[in-house]
């Protein structure tokens, strides 16, 4: 009888409380340990050494999230460092000279990839027509009021950590613009790697 009560206490979540020793588990229950995956006891009473929890970013067991090589920055969206280590200004202090919106710089403007909406063949980017006329029945997705679009809304955003972007294309790049932006991005990558904030990338064969 003593061994039976002792076994029940071992598999209880609250071994010191008599009233809870058989509330959820009993000796007849098949209890499986989450640490060693063996039946008969809980992980808190497991004789096997505790397993290191996996990294929530890459699932590796030799490190945790703060030292993960796959970590990335929520400010510049580049891998290798966190927001607190980023060399750029905080995103709420950034202003784009291309679309005149806040939250990013011109080299990270969503308009860069949106400008290809009419380009279906290799060659120069196909420019679109001028911006369409504003409809009278405009409604804002942020405040649900009539008369303006969501990216123009002065009200507080539903998600405070996101800045709106314009749905229109203000400028279409030519070949010189693309080459200049490519050079700027390469310089930025070199600066980040020199500062230790971006891991070295092995060149992929062509």
Helix (H, G, I), strand (E, B) or coil at 4: helix
Q: Given a cut of 60, is residue 8 above it in pLDDT?
A: no
If you average pLDDT over residues 42-68, what whole number do you get? Answer: 84
pLDDT value, residue 15: 46
| Burial class, 2, CB count within 10 angstroms (exposed 0-12 / middle 13-18 / buried 19+) | exposed
If you average pLDDT over residues 26-40, what whole number do you get? Answer: 78
**Six-digit token string for 196:** 């230790």
CA atoms in the 13 A half-sphere facing the CB of 24: 11
If you average pLDDT over residues 86-92, what whole number do you get? Answer: 84
Q: What does the alpha-carbon distance between residue 83 and residue 93 come to, in Å, rounded to a whole number?
A: 14
Question: E strands of the chain, at which residues?
Answer: none
| 111-130 confidence digits (pLDDT tens) | 999 999 889 888 889 888 76
Closest CA relative to residue 82, chosen from 97, 70, 64? 70
Percent of the chain with pLDDT over 90: 12
For Cα atoms 43, 68, 163, give the angle at the middle one, nearest 5 degrees. 110
DSSP for 136-157, please give it: SS-B-TTT--BSS-GGG--SPP
Does this model's pTM top 0.95? no
Note whether 36 and 27 are within 8 A (CB): no
pLDDT value, residue 5: 45
pLDDT value, residue 2: 46
Q: Given a cut of 80, is residue 22 above it in pLDDT?
A: no
Closest CA relative to residue 75, chosen from 53, 55, 62, 92? 92
Q: What does the alpha-carbon distance between residue 145 and residue 154 come to, in Å, rounded to a whole number?
A: 11
Helix (H, G, I), strand (E, B) or coil at 106: helix
pLDDT value, residue 137: 81
């Amino acid at each position: 009888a003593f061994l039976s009560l002792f076994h029940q206490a071992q598999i209880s979540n609250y071994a010191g409380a008599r009233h809870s020793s058989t509330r959820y588990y009993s000796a007849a229950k098949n209890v499986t340990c989450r640490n060693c995956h063996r039946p008969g006891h809980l992980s808190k009473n497991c004789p096997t050494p505790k397993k290191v929890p996996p990294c929530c970013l890459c699932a590796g067991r030799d490190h945790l999230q703060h030292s993960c090589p796959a970590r990335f920055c929520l400010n510049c969206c580049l891998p290798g460092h966190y927001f607190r280590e980023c060399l750029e200004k905080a995103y709420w202090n950034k202003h784009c000279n291309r679309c005149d919106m806040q939250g990013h710089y011109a080299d990270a403007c969503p308009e860069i990839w949106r400008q290809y909406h009419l380009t279906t063949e290799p060659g120069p980017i196909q420019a679109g027509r001028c911006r369409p006329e504003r409809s009278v029945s405009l409604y804002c997705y942020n405040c649900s009021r009539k008369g303006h679009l969501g990216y123009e809304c002065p009200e507080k955003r539903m998600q405070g950590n996101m800045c709106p972007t314009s749905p229109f294309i203000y400028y279409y790049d030519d070949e010189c613009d693309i080459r200049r932006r490519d050079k700027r991005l390469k310089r930025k990558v070199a600066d980040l790697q020199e500062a230790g904030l971006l891991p070295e990338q092995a060149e992929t064969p062509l």
